[in-house]
Chain A
Amino acid sequence: MSLMDEPYTMLLASLPHLPAPGAAKDLPITRLQLSSRLKWLTPEDQQRLQRVEQALHWSHLPIELSDEQVIARAQAALEAVACDFLRPILLERLEMRTLIAALRRRARGETLPRERPWGQGRFLRRIETHYAEPDFGLGHLYPWLAQAQKHLQAEEPLELENLLLTQYWKQLARVDDPHAFDFSAVTLYVLRWEILHRSLRRQPEAAATRFDALVAQALESSPVSLEALA
């Protein structure tokens, strides 16, 4: 174990505490600041983290990618992580995504494609055999499935997104965090930051307030007054 040449201790100590999505009004650290701190990681760790982000976050997944390509990318990321602590966490996240994919397909009246891969995780066979059931027979493991189904049927994408973000956050909160200073802790932090970022980005009131503040600030610092232009 190399104790002295790893940047995790300083990096993690320099990152602010992340509040739960409902409790936060602003991001404690911006993407730019977070990215500049993550540059302290070794190039290998940066690459591993990037692969995790590319596999999990839709912003890194171009719309033209096929299901097979998305699944292959996620599988490659799981293998690249090479960490027994992180792999089940990432796999569970991908399984949740698989469940949502199945819900969406069913809501559109589609069947599951048996001839090509359509999801990941332990429950593929179970979902296929219990496709007609509202919760695929997995309600005892994922009680939020019933609620997600209701949101899909009622065409409430915002509520569904909120539900999913809450579940993603809860999933990470359930993790037995060893409070160590290592790559796993950095990855958990980045995953939590992404959830918080997505949650805050969709608050229209907060966005409007922020926009007004920025406009006011820009006008204050501007040497040209609007009255003079009128």
Chain B
Amino acid sequence: MNEFVIALGWLGLYAPMALGAVGSIIGCALAGQAAIGAMLETESGHGKYLGVSAMPSSQLIYGIVVMFTLNREITETTAPGVFGIGLLAGLALLSSAVYQGKTCASAINASKAKPEIFGLSLAPSAIVEGFAVFAFIFALVISAGIPG
């Protein structure tokens, strides 16, 4: 039982970084596919499409910061807290990265036909990013309550 709790603690410690990375991989790839497709159709603005397709990479950075904040000696006392916060923060970061990738792809697709809405079409991606920031900030705040 003791070892199992310790294992969960390590899982929770690495989860925000690993799940954030998985989300960023999927999100950036989705938006990147849209950017490549849009490049075939348009003559200019390729840089901004690529820039938008990189938006879902921020979740990985948040995951790394949460991982370092949670980093402490994993004991029976600290493991449950690290597991809970790390896993849930990681899941939030993963889903936000995937869905941000989808909204970025839609923004690229829409602004290709109507370039004047480019800025506005990024608003949904920014809102999704906001939820990832919430998960990130409160993971940092609440991790202060874990002993050790």
The answer to whether A and B assemble together is yes
Residues on A facing B (Cβ under 8 Å): 3-4, 7, 9-17, 179, 181
A15: chain B residues at CB < 8 Å are 37, 41
B33: chain A residues at CB < 8 Å are 7, 9-10, 13
Tell whether, in the assembled complex, residue B98 and residue A13 are in contact, meaning their CB atoms are under 8 Å apart. Answer: no
B30: chain A residues at CB < 8 Å are 3, 9, 181
Known: A3-B26, A4-B26. A14 touches B106 (CB 8 A): no
A12: chain B residues at CB < 8 Å are 34, 37, 109
Q: Name the residue of chain B whose CB is nearest to the CB of A181.
A: B105
Would you give the shortest CB distance from B24 to chain A, in whole angstroms? Answer: 13
Roughly how many angstroms separate A10 CA and B49 CA in the complex, as a whole number? 12
User: Which of A4, A16, A179, A181 has the largest count of B CB atoms less than 10 A from its CB?
Assistant: A181
Known: A3-B30, A181-B105. A9 touches B37 (CB 8 A): yes
Would you call the interface of chain A mostly helix, strand, loop, or mixed?
A: loop
Roughly how many angstroms separate A138 CA and B117 CA in the complex, as a whole number? 40
B40: chain A residues at CB < 8 Å are 14
Tell whether, in the assembled complex, residue B112 and residue A13 are in contact, meaning their CB atoms are under 8 Å apart. Answer: yes
Roughly how many angstroms separate A96 CA and B26 CA in the complex, as a whole number? 42
Tell whether, in the assembled complex, residue A17 and residue B38 are in contact, meaning their CB atoms are under 8 Å apart. Answer: no
Would you call the interface of chain B mostly helix, strand, loop, or mixed?
A: helix
- Place the interface of chain B in its size category: 20 to 34
Would you give the shortest CB distance from B48 to chain A, in whole angstroms? Answer: 14
Would you give the shortest CB distance from B59 to chain A, in whole angstroms? Answer: 15
20 of the cross-chain contacts (CB-CB < 8 Å) are A3-B98, A4-B26, A7-B33, A10-B33, A10-B36, A10-B37, A12-B34, A13-B33, A13-B34, A13-B37, A13-B105, A13-B108, A13-B109, A14-B37, A14-B41, A15-B41, A16-B112, A16-B113, A179-B110, A181-B105
Would you give the shortest CB distance from B75 to chain A, in whole angstroms? Answer: 38
Roughly how many angstroms separate A9 CA and B31 CA in the complex, as a whole number? 8
Give B17-53 interface residues, CB cut-off 8 Å to A. Answer: 26, 29-30, 33-38, 40-41
Roughly how many angstroms separate A9 CA and B32 CA in the complex, as a whole number? 9
Tell whether, in the assembled complex, residue A10 and residue B34 are in contact, meaning their CB atoms are under 8 Å apart. Answer: yes
B105: chain A residues at CB < 8 Å are 9, 13, 181
Would you give the shortest CB distance from A125 to chain B, in whole angstroms? Answer: 42
Q: Mark B103-124, 1 if CB is under 8 A from A, else 0.
A: 0011011101110000000000
Q: Name the residue of chain A whose CB is nearest to the CB of B109.
A: A13
Would you give the shortest CB distance from A193 to chain B, in whole angstroms? Answer: 14
Roughly how many angstroms separate A7 CA and B37 CA in the complex, as a whole number? 10
